[in-house]
Amino acid sequence: MPRFYDIDAANERLTELRPLLERLAADRDALAEEQRGFRATLATDGAPESEIPVQRHEARIRQIVGRMQEAVAQIDAWGITLRDIPTGLVDFPALVSGRQVWLCWRLGEPEVGWWHDLTTGLAGRRPLRDLE
């Protein structure tokens, strides 16, 4: 059975979630940069001594990916759905009058202030004051 959040519990979780999402976004950017460096190394180095830079890139990529996997696993363990890494968009499952909805939040917002139905996604995002 899924865990359901109320607004207070979702806002309390932001204390741990916010820095985790910030690190995840930074790791995503670092991974992209490391992959560019890896491709550039492969394209320019054909000599045997190029193995060392390639191995360094591979090791850093594995390390970043590992951190990202741990972060996503933690978010999942909290019962939160990660929608978008760059914006830190997440949904908290909630029950309102017996109906399941998503409490919606993203990095930069001070607190959970939005919700949407299960099928509407971000396009259907509405302020909590509209929640009935």
Higher-pLDDT residue of 47, 118: 118
- The residue to which tokens 């978010």 are assigned: 75
Indicate the DSSP class of residue 124: G
CA angle 67, 52, 35 (to 5 degrees): 45
Q: Which pLDDT score, from 0 to 100, does residue 39 have? A: 77
The predicted-structure confidence for 31-76, as pLDDT tens digits, reads as follows: 999 888 877 776 665 555 556 677 888 889 999 999 999 999 999 9
Helix or strand (DSSP H, E) at 105:
strand 99-105
CA-CA distances (angstroms) from residue 50 to 38, 54, 62?
Answer: 11, 6, 19
The model's pTM is 0.86
Amino acid at 124: G
CA-CA distances (angstroms) from residue 19 to 25, 26, 29, 121?
Answer: 10, 10, 15, 24
Give me the DSSP letters along 66-87.
HHHHHHHHHHHHTTPEEEETTT
